[in-house]
Amino acid sequence: MTYTRPTNYKTRQSQHVLDYMASLGDRHVTVSQIARHFIDKGAAIGQTTIYRQLEKLVSLGRIRKYTHGEGGGACYQYVAGIACVEHFHLKCEDCGELIHLDCELLDEIERHLLAEHEFQINALKTVFYGKCGICRQKELNT
């Protein structure tokens, strides 16, 4: 007889990861950023455990996972109470910040592509790459 742990089974580590993600609000973080947080706090939670806990939380709908292109890393966001469904994202190639973008012009492009080209964009997976204002300013000042 094989024992299968229920999917809603909670460990202390899972709760720590969820609590940390919830504390970030709508910010996106990578596994390495999460691991750094726990190292700084003196908590012994390895990256493999963090990956495993995040995937479990993704499957439960508590965390959203964003992947960026082939071979690109993933980042994660706590989703309770956050409407992150129908908008695009900007990804800074310097600092890695993932920014929510609500833009009427892009909404119009999305409607145009559907009406004129019969192509529906998945806004949740559409990410524009470039440099955020802070990184551009740093570059100008150097």
Same domain, yes or no: 79 and 19:
yes
23 with 61, same domain: the answer is yes
pTM of the shown model: 0.59
Would you list the DSSP string of 53-119?
HHHHHHHTTSEEEEE-STT--EEEEE-TT---SS-EEEEETTT--EEEE--HHHHHHHHHHHHHH--
Q: Are 89 and 126 in contact (CB under 8 A)?
A: yes
Which residue, chain included where needed, has tokens 């909404």?
107
Residues 102 and 78 in one domain: no
Give pLDDT tens digits for 6-56. Answer: 444 557 888 899 999 999 887 888 899 999 999 999 987 889 999 999 999
DSSP states of 30-54 as a string? -HHHHHHHHHHTT----HHHHHHHH
Asked if residue 99 and residue 43 are part of one domain, the reply reads no
Structural domain total, the chain: 2
Calculate Rg over the CA atoms of the chain. Answer: 18
Domain that holds residue 8: 1-83
Beta-carbon contacts of residue 98 (< 8 Å; ≥ 6 apart):
28, 66, 75, 77, 89, 90, 91, 92, 127
- Are residues 32 and 67 both part of a single domain? yes
Q: Are residues 46 and 98 in the same domain?
A: no
Closest-CA residue to 106 (of 85, 88, 79) = 88
Q: Are residues 113 and 70 in the same domain?
A: no
Residue with structure tokens 């190292």? 39
Residues 6+ apart with CB under 8 A from 36: none
pLDDT number for residue 72: 61
Question: For position 48, which CATH number holds?
Answer: 1.10.10.10
In terms of pLDDT, which residue wins out, 99 or 133? 133
pLDDT band of 142, cuts 50, 70, 90: confident
Q: Do both 77 and 141 map to the same domain?
A: no
Same domain, yes or no: 131 and 99 = yes
The domain boundary, picked from 83, 112, 131, lies at: 83
Residue 124, CA atoms < 13 Å, CB-side half-sphere: 10
Query: In terms of domains, do 68 and 101 share one?
Result: no
